[in-house]
Structure 1
Amino acid sequence: MAQIFTASADTRLRAAVLIAGLAVLAGGLFLGGYAESGYMTMVGWVRDQPVPFSHEHHVGGLGIDCRYCHTGVETSAQAGLPPTHVCMNCHSQIWAGAPMLEPVRQSLATGRPIPWQRVARVPDYVYFNHAIHIDRGVPCVTCHGRVDRMPLLARARPFQMSWCLDCHRDPAPNLRPPDQVTRMDWSDWDPKAHEAYGQAMVKAHGIEPAKLDDCNVCHR
């Protein structure tokens, strides 16, 4: 009987299967690494702004409360970007003629909003409500990081679904007194007291972690 396959055919087939398997594995590792990379999550990235606003100076140095500029954070889904007149409450008297504040003065004169570039944002298909998180005591630093140490604002968290779900499935560690949500440094809070407080607030607010990972909580 004539031999259909050569003696080396089996070896070549095994080598091809091995190479294909390694290629699939490498592709999976590449995609997984890319999804977690700073390029994809944009963690640490700074966006160019019309005015180089320093949170380090205004929050860390001057102690301005987050809610002074982000007026909607306690009452609506959007925290809101500061309207020009809020900036001019101070800068009509302080650094009134500074060249870097020309876009602010132009905005006030023309009535056109300053085109701030949002740094922290979730995709359009994700519903996020600032007010409910603030009401339950999730502090600003949980999602936005130590803005009081940022000369230029950078994204501090990945805002990926897995990151959000980690909190939804175990919210207690991220709960603080609602009247202190703008506090940046919590290093002096006793871990045991914090754990007890978080568990107590989960019960007090009727938070049900088992329901917080339902798709319709964030995708409506």
Structure 2
Amino acid sequence: MQIFPPAADTAVRFAVLVLVIAMVGLPLGAWEYLQSTYETQVGWVQDQPVPFSHAHHVGDDGIDCRYCHTSVETSARANLPPTHVCMTCHSQIWTGAPVLEPVRLSMATGEPIRWRRVAQLPDYVYFNHSIHIDRGVACRECHGDVTDMPLMRRAKPFTMQFCLDCHRDPAPALGPRELVTHPQGLGWTEAQKRAHGERVMRKLGIKPDELDNCGVCHR
């Protein structure tokens, strides 16, 4: 007497096939999602109250990063520019431009402009701008070439792997301290960047095996 119908074998094989596909496909799908621009937001721009153009201010006018991000050399945060910094120029030029109305209103009322951060790290990650600047890590290493950004976009993924890759091999990111805010770099080859970075590491006693410690970023 046949207990199971002929279709039972086909059903079992189909179920096993689905299970295998799920076991392989789900982890691969999760990995692809975590690497996707939807998750990392690489290339994304944020809607801002004023469409500030780094391409114009930095690329065309040559304004140094530190003019607006005043504390980048001295504190953990680079800080967003207060309204009076904007008005040092725009009290003289483009004074009636409609697009700058939020800036004028902020100056008149004392209410700060609510800029939306493009480079945002989770609260459980400690990052200190000043120590990176002091070691010669240029702004472009994390923020990209802002002279090509009419609207600021995220240039790098800011994932844990992104940070670890640099901490485990920091030499290529260590440029001349005096050129740290140069937006486009020096045009060096990879070999030249590494050679300079290795000299910096020896001079400052930078040890990659210590930078790999969890407590460096999670405090």
Band the TM-score falls in, shorter-chain normalisation? over 0.9
Matching residue of 1:125? 124
CA deviation vs aligned residue, 1:35-76 (integer Å, no higher than 9, x gap): 111110111111111111000000000000000000010000
Pairing of 1:58-73 with structure 2 (within 5 A): 58-73=57-72
Gaps of 5+ in 1: none
Q: How does 1:65-214 map to 2 (within 5 A)?
A: 65-186=64-185, 188-214=187-213
| Residue 52 of structure 1 pairs with residue 51 of structure 2 | yes
Q: Check conservation: 2:172, 2:190, Cα contact below 8 A.
A: no
Matched, 1:19 2:24: no
Give, in angstroms, the shift of residue 3 of structure 1: 6.7
Count of residue pairs brought into register by the alignment: 219
Inter-partner Cα distance in structure 2 for 1:124 and 1:34: 22
Which residue identity is paired with 1:70?
A: H
Measured after TM superposition, the shift of residue 19 of structure 1 is: 1.5
CA contact (8 A) 2:143 2:154 kept: yes
Whole-angstrom CA distance in 1 between matches of 2:26 and 2:183: 40
In the superposition, the TM-score normalised over structure 2's length comes to: 0.94
> Tell me, which stretches of 5 or more residues in structure 2 are unaligned?
none
The more displaced of 60-69 and 189-198 is 189-198
One-letter amino acid of the structure 2 residue matched with residue 74 of structure 1:
E
**Deviation larger for 64-73 or 185-194:** 185-194
1:56 aligned partner, one-letter code: A
Contact kept in structure 1, 2:53 and 2:149, CA below 8 Å:
yes
Deviations 1:106-127 (A, max 9, x none): 1111111110000011111100
Residues 179, 187 of structure 1: alpha-carbon distance in 2 compared, 3 angstrom cutoff: closer
Deviation at 1:30, TM superposition (A): 1.4
Write the letter of the residue equivalent to 2:183. M
Deviation at 1:187, TM superposition (A): 5.3
Q: Deviations over 1:74-120 (max 9, x none)?
A: 00000000011110000000111111111111111111111000001
Cα deviation 1:167-213 (Å, max 9, x = unaligned): 00000011101110111223522443322211011111111111112
The residue type paired with residue 115 of structure 2 is W
Deviation at 1:215, TM superposition (A): 1.0
CA RMSD of aligned residues (A): 1.6
How far is 1:11 from its partner? 5.3
Percent identity over the alignment is 61
Q: Describe the superposition over 1:123-177 as per-residue Cα deviations: whole angstroms up to 9, x where unpaired.
A: 1110000000000000000000111110000111110001110000000011101
What TM-score comes out, normalization by structure 1 length? 0.94
- Distance in 1 (CA, whole Å) between partners of 2:191 and 2:40 is 32
CA contact (8 A) 2:138 2:175 kept: yes
SS for the counterpart of 1:17 is: helix
